[in-house]
């Protein structure tokens, strides 16, 4: 069965960086793009970007351009999302979600989420 | 970028009620729309894709309709397990975008 298992909660100081991992299993890792979506406390879902695990190409939301980097390790079937220059507004639960099919598609499986808290 | 607007933001309803949530896109997205359900502390769960296709395992009381810029999610007879927040998402083009969510509360 498809599983996406994310790394544990993080507490970071303003200005620092955080790197969240998402380990995939139960399917061919390189055949499905992966989204990253975040949710601030009490707020809605915010799309951050997408990565192609096969070639490593990415597409980021303009809001995060220059601060976010999505990478992958095909040997461990893991994707990573690194966010730099953290500020308090980046406190949120970060989710990875598998793209169901072709490049433009919906999210069919989600990770459990990783809480990132930014606080001095 | 395409913006998604849901209405209402909050909806109070009783078990057995028929519930409709609307999602509007700022430009045409054909039928490239998904609906998700989210419960507190949990990841979103896919309900509907391609505007009207029911995800496997999702109860048939959920249905989706629409195309272009206006879409609806309907729950034909609200059940206790359905009290949650619902989001639409466009995937016609990147950046993808979600609606702001509709919380379905117990009346």
Question: Does residue B92 register a pLDDT over 80?
Answer: yes
pLDDT on residue A85: 98
Which of A97, A50, A53, A56 shows the shortest CA–CA distance to B34? Answer: A97
pLDDT of residue B19: 97
pLDDT at A29: 96
* Predicted pLDDT of residue A103: 85
Catalogue the long-range contacts made by B49-53 (C-beta closer than 8 Å, 24 or more residues apart). B49/A100, B49/A106, B49/A108, B50/A106
Q: How many CA atoms lie within 13 A of A113 on its CB side?
A: 19
Residues in B closer than 8 angstroms to A107, CB to CB, are: 34, 36, 44, 46, 89
Contact B45 A110 (CB under 8 A): yes
Q: How far apart are CA A76 and CA B47, in angstroms?
A: 30
* R_g over Cα of chain B: 13
Counting as low any pLDDT under 70, the low residues of chain A are none
Q: Contact A44/B43, CB-based, under 8 Å?
A: no
Percentage of residues in chain B with pLDDT exceeding 90? 98
B91 → closest Cβ in A37, A44, A106: A106
- Give pLDDT tens digits for B79-88: 999 999 999 9
Is A95's CB within 8 Å of B97's CB?
no
Q: Residue A102 has what pLDDT? A: 73
Partners of residue B104 on adjacent β-strands: B11
Query: Over 80: is that where the pLDDT of B53 sits?
Result: yes
Q: What is the pLDDT of residue B107?
A: 87
């Amino acid at each position: 069965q498809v599983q996406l298992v994310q790394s544990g909660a993080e507490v970071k100081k303003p200005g620092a960086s955080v790197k969240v991992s998402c380990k995939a299993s139960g399917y061919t890792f390189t055949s499905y793009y992966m989204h990253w979506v975040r949710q601030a406390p009490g707020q809605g879902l915010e799309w951050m970007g997408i990565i192609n695990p096969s070639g490593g190409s990415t597409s980021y939301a303009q809001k995060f351009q220059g601060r976010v980097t999505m990478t992958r390790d095909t040997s461990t079937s893991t994707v990573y999302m690194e966010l730099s220059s953290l500020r308090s507004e980046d406190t949120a639960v970060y989710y990875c979600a598998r793209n169901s099919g072709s490049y433009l598609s919906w999210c069919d499986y989600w990770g459990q989420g990783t809480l990132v808290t930014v606080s001095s | 970028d395409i913006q998604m607007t849901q209405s209402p933001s909050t909806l109070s309803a009783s078990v057995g009620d028929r519930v409709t949530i609307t999602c509007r896109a700022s430009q045409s997205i054909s039928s490239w729309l998904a609906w998700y359900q989210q419960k507190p502390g949990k990841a979103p769960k896919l309900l509907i894709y391609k505007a009207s296709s029911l995800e496997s395992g999702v109860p048939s009381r959920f249905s989706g309709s629409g195309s272009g810029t206006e879409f609806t999610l309907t729950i034909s007879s609200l059940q206790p397990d359905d009290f949650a927040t619902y989001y639409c998402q466009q995937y016609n083009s990147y950046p993808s975008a979600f609606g702001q969510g509709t919380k379905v509360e117990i009346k």
